[in-house]
Chains A and B, each alone.
Chain A
Amino acid sequence: MPSYIDGSTAIVLGALDAGCDFFAGYPITPASPILMALMRDLPRSGGVAVQGEDEIASIGMCIGASLAGARAMTATSGPGISLYSENLGLAVMGEVPLVVIDVQRLGPATGGATTVAQGDVQFVRWGTSGGYPIIALAPSTIAECYTLTMRAFDLAERFRCPVFVLTDKDLNLTMGTADVGAFPPAEVRARAVEEAPDAMYRYEPSDETTPMVRYGTGRPVRFTGSTHDEHAFITKDPARVGALNRHLIDKIEEHRDEIEMVDADLQDGAATLVVSYGSTAAVMRTAVRRARAAGAPVSMATVHSLWPVPETALVEAMAGVERVVVAELNPGLYAREIERIAAGREVRRLTRIDGEMLAPEEFQEALA
């Protein structure tokens, strides 16, 4: 049966259905509704939600809770991601399952609190030192907010790493008609744990994710954000350090096929492929529908897994087209990734940075 909800509510429902039992966050528009809903709902379902004294405390609490066995999530917007930066690196280095919702607003700095934008798409990828891979998903509808939040919890367990769900002000705060009971759920695997592990971390084979040991379950568990050996003791031994860092890369990069998600709506004979994500993708789908109704075949790819870049699916979608139009609300940030794999095809940037949503008509203009 239909109900009337926004993307924030769908994210909260997805988190609860994924078994999220720990949340810490700090108020910020447009992410606050998630904080408020979980402060209300988590204690009622046996979990814990805290409003931290700042974003650093909030993500820190989530990391600690995750190691104590919780399914942890935090939610913020661009300014908060800035404050998460160092701890995101800690979660990468220490291999901590964690879901981070980034409800984008217009930046830089305070920018526009209630203004839609997609300026964090590269920021979440490169937002901590080192340049190691992260995973980021991007829903474009209310139902996808639900499903991809669940999926993020699953990937966080699968790869023992922070997973972003990148949304935006319009997606989170626009109300829509949704049949919540019919939202497709994602499988969320139980945490892989080991009873009597010989080591807390393992780097061989380099692409394998090591099962976790939870604090207080019979064996001391060590965790560290410094370069470490398999027992989480600090090391500078180049062989060990190299193996550790190789592992952080390979465990994700070698398994891109498990992460890649693109909704490809391709048409034979299309000269143009539109690539978009988030609420911009919804507008582009309207534009593509109109173009098709007017007799022009157009292909469309909505990217659901922004990082790692779903290259296989995107390269496939590009086959046969002459140009790719990348529509996004930033100076053309994801277009850089498309250019990288476009094999000489023309890549047109369709962008707005004035705080307004793109209009379907602007797609026609971009083609002219």
Chain B
Amino acid sequence: MTAVTITPLGSYRNERPYPFCPGCGHGPILDALDRALALRGAPADRVVVVSDIGCSGLSDQYFATSAFHGLHGRSITYATGIKLADPTLEVVVIMGDGGTGIGGAHLINAARRNVGITVLVMNNLNFGMTGGQHSTTTPEGAITSTTPGGNLERPLDICGTAAVNGAALAYRCTSFDDDLGERIAEAMAHPGFAVLDVWELCSAYYVRSNRFSRKGMEQTMEELGLRRGYAARRDVREFSAAYREAAAADAAGPVRPGDIPRTHRSGLDGRRTVVLAGAAGGRVLSAARAAARAAIASGLYAAQRDDYPVTVKTGHSVASLVVDPHPIDDVSARPDVVALLAPEGAARAARDAARLGPGGLLVAVPGLDPPPHAGRTVVLDTDAAGMRLAKADLALAATAAIAALESLFPLEALRDAVAGGPKGAERMVEVVGAGEAMAAAAGG
């Protein structure tokens, strides 16, 4: 006779007994998970059981694996973070139908994203732990502690929702199924996001208030059209693998800020604050940026506070530019120069104009009425520009004119700053020249 040795599959359970009520479906589902883990055979430390909240949330404590017990409805998010940080881990989420409801956004987005985690929903059609309240999966008409007259809401189709949003695998079954362990193992092996909607009995509440049973459950599934089986089983690109593949293709390294070498010289003796007040589309902020680079290239310090509405393509666009031979700690100084470049900016900067002192300068493009102020006014003579200036040129031209009138820094530095820019460099160099010409016409 030949001796047959049967090697039993190892168990991933610890010795702690389940705490669930007699007849509760949670225990059989955990037994099935244990079987699935044994079929998978990963080392216990490399399996992370992520539990949610509720009676189902106690589940991780009966496994000898790694575990994460987080907040109500958020287990999918922790599992996603764990898997993204270390894709070699096997990550299983256990949540109730309560957790699925409050964390519904995470279910939908996990399905779309397809990070390789497996979610077991212990779907007992009500909140167990908190006293049998209705959940998002409670069938219409069911009596619960919060639907004493019968539930009026339609139950959530967990598998359908996951499937329609791209989940790799969505499977509906019950805690009574003999092959549940195999199905869980299969879901874990399937690349991408997998969800199993496991219907079961809450013997303490749902069974009692609805005279519910295994048979009733099968019948309800049939009546609701929430049939057993696969709602999705498809090939997808698992997200963390796809992410790493895409990242490997782009080895550029992080972007470091560009150095601005000192190439020019400025004779500026103190701080000047210049407010450029224009409208969206007027390239106001980029003109200020170019001026800042020119100032820095001339050995000065520059700083800039921008002001624009949240809808960036409309309304005012105002930059407060500070240039100073000394380091700039704060940009709160009263303005020395205010440039009104468009009606939207003029309205916004009226307050700044009013704060100009006797040595201040107000620059305006033709057609804008300069408001009363204590300083000098220069209306830019666009006829002196030597070229036709478009609206989008005015900010840079005015900036160049101001730099010349106020001797902030050499215009060569501004030419260099715009010449190094990404687009339209040649024209921008010409626009700086136009600003210089307008400054000359204004007697600067």
Contacts and interface: CB of A to CB of B under 8 A. Distances in A.
Contact of B289 (A22, A57, A61, A175): A175
A56 interface: yes
Contact of B246 (A43, A64, A226, A285): A43
A297 interface: no
B253 A45 contact: yes
Nearest to B57: A226
Nearest to A232: B67
Interface string B77-108: 11111111110110000000000000001101
B3 interface: no
A72 B259 CA distance: 29
A64 B80 contact: yes
A270 interface: no
Contacts of A220: 44-45, 64-67
A150 interface: no
Contact of B77 (A3, A61, A141, A170): A61
Given A69-B85, A174-B331, A225 B71 contact: yes
Interface stretch (B148-156, B297-305, B336-344): B297-305
Contacts of B307: 114
Main SS class of interface, B: mixed
Interface residues of A, number: 78
Interface in A199-257: 215-226, 232-234
Main SS class of interface, A: mixed
B421 interface: no
Contacts, number: 219
Contacts of B309: 114
Interface stretch (A47-55, A186-194, A317-325, A334-342): A47-55
B68 interface: yes
Nearest to A226: B69
A40 interface: yes
Contacts of A2: 259-260, 296, 301
Interface string B30-74: 000000000000001110101000000010110011111111001
Nearest to B310: A113
Contact of A65 (B58, B66, B81, B106): B81
Nearest to B78: A64
A29 B311 CA distance: 12
A68 interface: yes
B332 interface: yes
B330 interface: yes
Nearest to B250: A44
Interface string A69-94: 11010000000000000110010000
Contacts of A353: none
A219 B45 contact: yes
15 contacts: A13-B256, A13-B257, A16-B254, A24-B81, A61-B80, A114-B310, A174-B303, A174-B304, A175-B302, A176-B328, A177-B292, A177-B303, A217-B45, A220-B44, A357-B332
Sort A-B residue pairs by CB-CB distance and give the 7 closest, nearest first: A64-B81, A60-B77, A61-B81, A43-B247, A64-B78, A68-B85, A41-B254
